[in-house]
Amino acid sequence: MTNPSFEFSHAITRKPAKSVIAGLRAEDTGTPDFAQMEMDHATYVATLTETGAEVIELPALENFPDSVFVEDDALCLRDIAILMRPGAASRMGEVAHMAGTLRGQYENVFEIKGPGFIEGGDILTTAREILIGKSARTDAAGVAELRDIVTRFGYTLREVQTPADVLHFKTDCSLLDGETILATKRLDASGCFEGYRVLHTADGEEAAANAIRFNQFVIMAAGFPKTSEMLRSNGYEVREINNTECAKIDGGMSCLSLRF
Ligand code: CIR
């Protein structure tokens, strides 16, 4: 039996646009090196492909600097996909560029029409529920609209809170398997993962929390040796990919793909 929360036959990615160097960021830590980001992105796509999944690689969108972060544009579930409504004004137009691809993959594609906002980075789908963190990008009206859609298809949605000053819920957590979550201590302390097994990122390695379980691999940003060692000692097959350039614009491993 497959577990649709981490066993995937497909992923969608989008090549970084040159304009990515102007991507949104909470804090300026330098301009991303485009050539390095392109190399890292190619490694990411190759790693997804190595698991046997088909990766649909979309072309760069120069008018949308953050469009490489496709995760925020949609929520892909087993049988339905939902187009999001990003809370960042500069990202709203990305969604229309994702719609056709999803309609080619799913019979049922819904859209968040508004007035609320939701970004996919705030949504963690586990084997038993859809966890959604309200944040500066995802508001109560957006959550309510998503709830109306997914409950009709038998999903349970639980609203939680993304920590203050954290971009997205999944900036601080990721799914490792059907019952295990990797999370920062600060997010776990909120109590939102009660009933799950939770593994913590090492102190000072909070940025390692934005990982993905994709088939046999846990794919994480390189440079977090204590957390990667902890995951390996828990039996996970870990792949580390350089993320220094995406990190300058608050992006990580989950943001770079839609998985289904
Ligand atoms: C943004 O601020 O929207 C982008 N610079 C980063 C988006 C990261 N996406 C994600 O965590 N799912």
pLDDT tens figures, 204-238: 999 999 999 999 999 999 999 999 999 999 999 99
The atom of ligand 1 lying closest to the CA of 65 is 5
Alpha carbon of 1 to ligand 1 centroid (Å)? 33
Query: Distance (Å, rounded) from C-alpha 218 to C-alpha 183?
Result: 14
Per-residue pLDDT tens digits for 83-134:
999 999 999 999 999 999 999 999 999 999 999 999 999 999 999 999 999 9
81 in contact with ligand 1, CB cutoff 6 A: no
249 CA distance to ligand 1 centroid (A)? 7
d(CA 37, CA 158): 34
Q: Whose CA is nearest to atom 8 of ligand 1?
A: 251
Return d(Cα 260, Cα 251) in angstroms, integer: 20
End-to-end CA distance of the chain: 16
Domain ranges of the chain: 10-17+31-259
Does domain 10-17+31-259 bear CATH number 1.10.3980.10? no
Q: Is the pTM of this model over 0.95?
A: yes
Residue 185 reports pLDDT greater than 90: yes
> What's the mean per-residue pLDDT of the chain?
97
For the Cβ of 40 lying below 6 angstroms from any atom of ligand 1, the answer is no
* Residue 182: predicted pLDDT: 98
- Torsion over CA: 103, 1, 71, 49 (sign): negative
Looking from the CA of residue 88, the nearest atom of ligand 1 is 3
Q: How far is CA 245 from CA 23, 173, 252, 255, 259, in A?
A: 11, 20, 10, 13, 22
Spacing, Cα 190 to ligand 1 middle (Å): 22
pLDDT band with cut points at 50, 70 and 90 for residue 3: confident
- Tokens 């949104």 sit on residue: 24
Q: Which residue has the tokens 């990008």?
A: 137
